[in-house]
Structure 1
Amino acid sequence: MTLYDSMMNWLQLWLVVEQRPQDEAARVSMEHVAEVLNQNFQVSIVEVAKEANHYAIKYTKDGSDHTERYNQQSAEALLSFINENPERYDFK
């Protein structure tokens, strides 16, 4: 998996965790992807910002600062699916 794809996976999970803080499965998965980013790509996420119609992820890699942008609709796809199918993801 590429760095770009791994960061998109992390972002999608991050958005779910932000909207559903009680979703432990999403939190564990997000933390796992963060570990993969760190171990496989030497990347640490610094900040996520929503800008117009995209999300910007600021991160460090090999001591340098970088920013990667992701389309808002693509980034929010997992969260949208969960919200459209609450019976499959309701943990109460």
Structure 2
Amino acid sequence: MTLQDALFNWLQIKIVAEARPDDRAAQETMQFFEEILREDHHLEQFAVTSDETMYRIQYGSAGQLKLQMYDRESAEQLLSDINSNPKYNE
């Protein structure tokens, strides 16, 4: 999995996990992607900020920081899909 894919997957599930704090599967999946970021991509830090249109992930290792941006609609699509499915909202 590429770094950009791992960051995006982590961002999407982080959004879901924060919106659904009692959703154990979401919490575990977020931890899974955090492990991928740490172990496979050797990231020491990654943090999210957002505004009305974008999510920004600042990430890095060995003192070098980078920034990856994703549009808000794409990043929140997984949460929207989950919320629109009655199976996951019982």
* TM-score (structure 1 length as normaliser): 0.89
Residue 84 of structure 2: aligned partner: 84
Structure 2 portions without partners, runs of 5+: none
Structure 1 portions without partners, runs of 5+: none
Residue 41 of structure 2: aligned partner: 41
Residue 4 of structure 1: aligned partner: 4
Shift, 1:43, TM fit: 1.4
- The percentage of aligned residue pairs carrying the same residue is 38
Residue 27 of structure 1: aligned partner: 27
Residue type of the partner of 2:41? F
Matched, 1:75 2:75: yes
Two-structure CA RMSD over aligned residues (Å): 1.4
Residue type of the partner of 1:21? P
Kept after mapping to 1: 8 A contact 2:45/2:61: no
Shift, 1:62, TM fit: 3.3
Instruction: Identify the range of structure 1 (17-26 vs 46-55) with the bigger mean alpha-carbon deviation.
Output: 46-55
Shift, 1:63, TM fit: 2.6
Residue 15 of structure 1: aligned partner: 15
Kept after mapping to 2: 8 A contact 1:55/1:69: yes
Give the distance between the partners of 1:79 and 1:12, measured in 2 at CA: 7
Give the distance between the partners of 1:21 and 1:47, measured in 2 at CA: 18
* TM-score (structure 2 length as normaliser): 0.90
